[in-house]
Amino acid sequence: MSCGASAMRGPNRRYDELASLFDERIVMALPGFAGRVEGRDALVDSYREFMDRSTLVHYEEDPPAIDIFGDTVIATFHWSMQWITQDVENRAAGSDAFVLRRVGPPAAANRWIAVWRTMPVESGA
């Protein structure tokens, strides 16, 4: 399910494809609710900035838990990753929580876009 990870793997960073997964008004609550990234362009830019300055060494995520409430979905999953930035190896693990809503006409009723995200990072990761 990962909103973004698969579009960022490999040398083809498909930012337009990534953008299509997000509502134009998406909000990402930063870890610890320390701030917010507001809007599709700003969120995609945050992925782009990370990938431009880092080399992703390893990324793994568990299958998501998905809860459906009519036209709203909450998807959560655990992840771990390793990356290199400025010759420094980094590791982190945590969870992602996405809120998605169903969009489009009834014939396309299975199209979902993310409207809200947060990613608590585990302490000591």
Strands (E), the chain: 22-29, 36-38, 54-61, 65-69, 72-85, 88-103, 111-118
d(C-alpha 56, C-alpha 84), whole Å: 7
Q: Which amino acid is at 124?
A: G
> Residue 116's beta-bridge partner residues?
27, 99
Q: What is the pLDDT of residue 107?
A: 65
Helix (H) or strand (E) holding 40: helix 40-53
Question: Does the structure show a pLDDT above 50 at 1?
Answer: no
Q: What distance, in Å, lies between the first and last C-alpha atoms of the chain? A: 23
pTM over 0.85: no
Condensed to tens digits (0 to 9), the pLDDT of residues 89-108 reads: 999 999 999 999 998 776 66
Burial code (b: 16+ CB inside 10 Å, e: under 16) for 9-34 equals eeeeeeeeebbebbbeebbbbeeeee
Condensed to tens digits (0 to 9), the pLDDT of residues 59-87 reads: 999 999 999 999 999 999 999 999 999 99
> Residue 72's beta-bridge partner residues?
69, 101
Domains of the chain: 5-118 (3.10.450.50)
